[in-house]
Every structure is written in C-alpha cells, then in structure tokens.
Amino acid sequence: MKVAVTSTGPGLDSPLDQRFGRARHLLVIDLPQRTVTPIDNQAGMGAAQGAGIQAAQTLIDHKAEALITGHCGPKAFRALRAANIDVYLAGEGSVADALDRFEAGDLALSAAADVDSHW
C-alpha cells in the first residue's frame, strides 16, 4: 500500500507538516517496507492558489492510496476523495510516528475537509 505523508523534510524522521498543499515535502511510502519516495513540493509552497489541488494531482500520479496530514482544505479533499485516496489527520510528531499510528489503526478516517477554503 502506498501512503503519502506531508513532511517538513525528506525522511521518516522529519516532522509531519501540518499543511497539505503547502507542505515542504510529500513523501510517498510503500508499506509495510517503508520505502520512501520524497517529492519536493517547492512549487506548491509558493503557489498563489491551487496548491492543494496540485498536491492532490501529484499524489494521484504517484498512485497513493491514503494521505496522512495535519489539515486538508475542501477543494483538495474533494480531489483526493474523487481519486479514492483516503485522508487521515494527524497532529504533531514525526512521519514515522504518524505511520506507526496509521498502521496501528489509531488515526481516524476523515469524513470532510477540516479547514475552510482560502479563496
């Protein structure tokens, strides 16, 4: 299974980035081996608008099946759900911590976006 996690850095020990579309890195991780494919999201960080939808398309292109992030806006959430990518919200901690909680079933599946649209 491929799980995407928003991150401030390119590795499993990096802190979880609370932003989806404007996260510094998007990590696509093959479970259970935890093989990491880091994606630099510099373009999304500086986008005037559409960062969430752009990040969602990146995850679709990398065939992610789930996303772990801190917050997800409505447009990105709709795009992810349309592509059958489940969204899980996690608080502070490292990417590895978030994956541990995901694999243990301790992260709840999000039913809706948890922040308002920026535009």
Look up the pTM and report it: 0.92
Domain-wise residue ranges, the chain: 2-103
CA 45-52-99 angle, 5° bins: 90
CATH of span 2-103: 3.30.420.130
**95 close to 7: Cβ distance less than 8 angstroms:** yes
> What is the pLDDT of the chain when averaged over all its residues?
91
Q: What is the pLDDT of residue 26?
A: 97
pLDDT tens figures, 42-76 = 876 666 677 889 999 999 999 999 999 999 999 99
